[in-house]
Chain A
Amino acid sequence: MKKFYIILSIGILVVAFNRCNKAEDFPESGYDERLSGGAATIFDATSHALTNAMGGLNERDQRVHEIGDQTFDQTFVAPPSPIFTGLGPVFNNISCVNCHRNDGEGIPTAGFSNSGLLFRISQPGQDANGGPVAIPGFGTQIQDKAVLGAQPEAIFNISYADSMVTYTDGSSIVLTKPNYLLQNPYTSLPSDYILSPRLAPPLVGMGLLENIPETTILSFVDANDKNGDGITGKANYIYNEYTKRKELGRFGLKANTSTLALQVATAYQQDMGVTSYMQHEESADGQSQMNGVHGDVQPELVDSLLNYVVFYVKTLAVPARRNVSDPDIKQGSVLFNDLNCSGCHRPTIQTGFDQTLAQINNQRIHPYTDLLLHDMGSALADGRPDFLATGSEWRTAPLWGIGLLDIANGTPYFLHDGRAKTLEEAILWHGGEAQKSKQQFMQLNKADRDRIVKFLKSL
């Protein structure tokens, strides 16, 4: 009998506790949707909106960020020089900030001191590591400037052609397509070369993107399009020359770089001709331009400064969204999802663990990217493969901060070569996996199209 009471009591307790309120999923409405970068968000809508450090860095990290910031802005000069030496002999620009203006994007011109467009080059096929085939005497990037006494590898002439796009409602818009002509190569160039223009992209939230778990990115892959939305998504795997390993690509316009450190070191080497412990060979190694270089010391960039610049980029804050309660913007957000723009530009992702930096650790972020490659159609194709990326595939561009580019940079430019001057133009250039979404966009009335653009400007 005693057992019966015990069992009855336990039974009652179980039933009673079962009636307790179970924890439910935290409601969407409970999150502050302005916090695009989670704890790494900053409230600043001025021209410096993209240049802020994440809040709450400790004193040491703050100092490292500041030195990285100064080095990022620093002009490098031709060797020999006691300070900031190592520019060239061939290069695209003389400081990071000249292309990543205010930590935003570059200007889509070539050959000027403020030009932010560069050209990758290769021959058809793949090299031993699966990457683009370098061209002897040029490598895989054209440096269109050189120190005095040396010759640029080539220069570029850009011409533009207009075409008209007409919406279902009859209104139309002009799109401008750039055409790139390589001129004056310093030595002979094989006729089957392939060019890929790349505009310096904004640096928003790079530390957070680096901290997204690989499994999360891979979970977005839908190689066989099981859900039938026309969007597949492909991960790029690249060869990291420093670690000598094959790694998941997540940075660069074709997801052709795996880590921030590799991205920064390669930019110093290829874009400025500045060598470092990670990229210790001059971009012009073995070329005739090296003849004019005397008194150079390798590596040119001090190890700690490279690390500080990497840390600087990693700890840049994400600007908060503006006007999120505006009814048009709310409706634009709904339309963005309805048109399945969010199929690639994924609104919400959870970052992984990083106990060294609380601001990027386990954060709910809104980058609007899946970091995967997608076929963007023939109009945007460069025809140049880059590891697993085909000539028509590009990595989904993150959209956070995109609405602040006009304030940060004066004039905004969108897409891989900056051909679109408005967000509306950028949408209309989409094709391939985004064709269906674009067509739906074109069928909307003007008010709804404007709502989507207004929503994008709030990011």
Chain B
Amino acid sequence: MGVSLPTVPRGEAGFFTTKLDLAVNWARQNSLWPMPFGTACCAIEMMASAASKFDLSRFGMERMSFSPRQADLLICAGRVSYKMAPVLRRIWDQMMQPKWAISMGACASSGGVFDVYSMVQGIDTIIPVDVYIPGCPPRPEGLIYGILMVHEKIKGESLADPSLREENPERVGRPNLPDGVIDEIAKPFGNSTTQNRVSGLVRTTALARPGDRNP
């Protein structure tokens, strides 16, 4: 292939130096185990992404972890009803740090066309979300792009900032956002027009994680 590895003289220990953050983040981003939470047609695209044509295992996601305790990345693919909300929240609470979440598709991100009595208006009211993927449903390329954005996010994290991985036990099983914010984003078309504020792209009190805040 024309690639030559650096040679180590026989009998000597090889080593190289790097930054701890770099090494840890490299390991984390390339071994993300997804927890599939598929509730609707987005899940079909998610399955297609995992199958041979798109092959998520190229990104270190060989194994769909159907147990939340061994998963790093929650992929919520599809609409979530209020009846399902405590299930989603419990699965998120059961996942161990470090963990990330992808909201796949319009319904998971904002309720989509289901602006009705039974449907959660964006799963960010329930759990903190790292990446939102638009689409109805998004194509596998869209999901893969979202996963690569999670990779980028992981690259930028630092072990010196423990707030990134902090969890408040009092928040377990509670809504992810304050009441006023939930009401605001759940207005008609609310979550689609105010989502930037919730996802932490601009400064807000409604942040999922303090580390998401812009400098």
Judge: A and B partners, yes or no. Answer: no
